Amino acid sequence: MIAMDTLTQYAVQYGMQAVVAIGIFTAGVMVARWAGNLAQQQLDRHTLEPPVRLLLVRVVKIIVLLFTAVIALDALGVPIAPLVAGIGVAGVGIGLALQGVLSNVMAGLSIIFTKPYRVGEHISLLGVHGDVVMIDIFSTTLMHADHSRVIIPNRKIVGEILHNFGTIRQIQLTVDVAYTTDLNQALAIAREVLAMHSKVLKDPAPTIGVSALGHPAVTIAIQPWTAVADYGSTQGEINKAIMERFRAAHIEFPPPAPAAKI
């Protein structure tokens, strides 16, 4: 009987407070969802990167939920001041434990706002290269030429030397011809091949010329521009077309260098 009386007393004393606290927190969840949707609509009007919009929406929701949780705990009779102090101390400890994660977040925000590269561009850094397919708060994802993914923590990127090719790349091709070759004819054929290729950009214009006088050949450099997505296939197609056109025009290729004697 004493236990039942005690339970009844606690139920009467704290039951209404618990109901009010639950009601406040439930309302807070609904308000947080509404505030997040409102923030998303407002941010969609501005030219922000998707990770920034996602982060800001989440921050709005978290702030509303934290504010609601404090009000709910106060309604439940929990002392707020010691709780806030405890959260502050715990926050310091968590911050020290998550230094790497926080540094990735700060570096990610720096990348998103300064925009040293964008999704769809080709970059090279830290000994790797690839097309940027995703930039989020913690890491940057590159698509390598072999269709593998390279995931780089953002803290490794900030402060490093970065080569941004943009959305186009220049193909570096060379072809060796014999010294008896009519160079004007060979250069004209190379220009025709590039002019007829659908993936070669007209602007910027390709660069074609004699790059070296070696032994036993004259080296012709062919440097067209193409979109990043077409870089690999275009290189092979141009090489094939140049060889076929040179053979048809009876342009001589130098003999292969003799094998080194052992």
Same domain, 188 and 155: no
Q: Quick one: pLDDT band at residue 112, thresholds 50, 70, 90?
A: confident
Residue 252: name the closest of 224, 217, 228, 223 by CA: 217
The answer, yes or no, to whether residue 261 has pLDDT greater than 60, is no
- Amino acid in position 100: G
Residue 62 lies in a domain: yes
Task: Note every long-range contact of 83-89, with CB atoms under 8 Å and residues 24 or more positions apart, other chains counting.
Answer: none
Check residue 182 and give its pLDDT: 92
Rounded to an integer, the average pLDDT of 227-248 is 91
The answer, yes or no, to whether residue 97 has pLDDT greater than 50, is no
Taking the alpha carbons of 14, 16, 20, 22 in that order, is the dihedral positive or negative?
positive
Distance CA 92, CA 86 (A): 10
Average pLDDT, the chain: 81
Same domain, 80 and 62: yes
Q: Which carries the bigger pLDDT value, residue 241 or residue 8? A: 241
The answer, yes or no, to whether residue 43 has pLDDT greater than 90, is no
Residue 109 lies in a domain: no
Tell me how crowded residue 152 is: count the other CB atoms within 10 A of its CB: 17
**DSSP per-residue letters across 38-90:** HHHHHHTTS---HHHHHHHHHHHHHHHHHHHHHHHHHHHT--HHHHHHHHHHH
Residue 259 lies in a domain: no
Residue 4 lies in a domain: no
The residue among 150, 166, 182 that closes a domain is 166
The answer, yes or no, to whether residue 13 has pLDDT greater than 70, is no
CATH code of the domain covering residue 147:
2.30.30.60
Rounded to an integer, the average pLDDT of 29-47 is 78
Q: What is the pTM of this model?
A: 0.59
Q: Which domain holds residue 55?
A: 13-97
Residue 83 lies in a domain: yes
CATH code of the domain covering residue 172:
3.30.70.100
Q: Quick one: pLDDT band at residue 5, thresholds 50, 70, 90?
A: low
CATH code of the domain covering residue 58:
1.10.287.1260
Number of structural domains in the chain: 3
- In the numeric block, which tokens belong to residue 233? 């296939």
Same domain, 119 and 81: no
Same domain, 241 and 192: yes
Distance CA 107, CA 124 (A): 18
The answer, yes or no, to whether residue 257 has pLDDT greater than 70, is no
Rounded to an integer, the average pLDDT of 90-118 is 71
Helix (H, G, I), strand (E, B) or coil at 165: strand
Q: Quick one: pLDDT band at residue 194, thresholds 50, 70, 90?
A: very high
The answer, yes or no, to whether residue 44 has pLDDT greater than 80, is no
Residue 110 lies in a domain: no
Q: Quick one: pLDDT band at residue 113, thresholds 50, 70, 90?
A: confident
The answer, yes or no, to whether residue 191 has pLDDT greater than 70, is yes
Check residue 102 and give its pLDDT: 75
Q: Quick one: pLDDT band at residue 57, thresholds 50, 70, 90?
A: confident
Residue 93 lies in a domain: yes
Same domain, 177 and 149: no
Q: Which carries the bigger pLDDT value, residue 158 or residue 93? A: 158
Q: Quick one: pLDDT band at residue 209, thresholds 50, 70, 90?
A: very high
Same domain, 158 and 173: no
Check residue 170 and give its pLDDT: 92
Lowest average pLDDT, out of 2-11, 102-111, 248-257, goes to 2-11
Check residue 92 and give its pLDDT: 55
Same domain, 88 and 139: no
The answer, yes or no, to whether residue 222 has pLDDT greater than 50, is yes
The residue among 51, 67, 97 that closes a domain is 97
Residue 154: name the closest of 118, 116, 123, 109 by CA: 109
Residue 107 lies in a domain: no
Same domain, 213 and 232: yes
Same domain, 199 and 136: no
Same domain, 174 and 243: yes
What's the CA angle centered on 250, arms 244 and 251, to 5 degrees? 85
173-177 and 218-223 strand pairing: antiparallel
Same domain, 124 and 184: no
Same domain, 176 and 241: yes
Task: Note every long-range contact of 200-207, with CB atoms under 8 Å and residues 24 or more positions apart, other chains counting.
Answer: 200/224, 200/225, 200/226, 200/234, 200/238, 201/168, 201/225, 201/226, 201/227, 204/168
Distance CA 104, CA 129 (A): 20
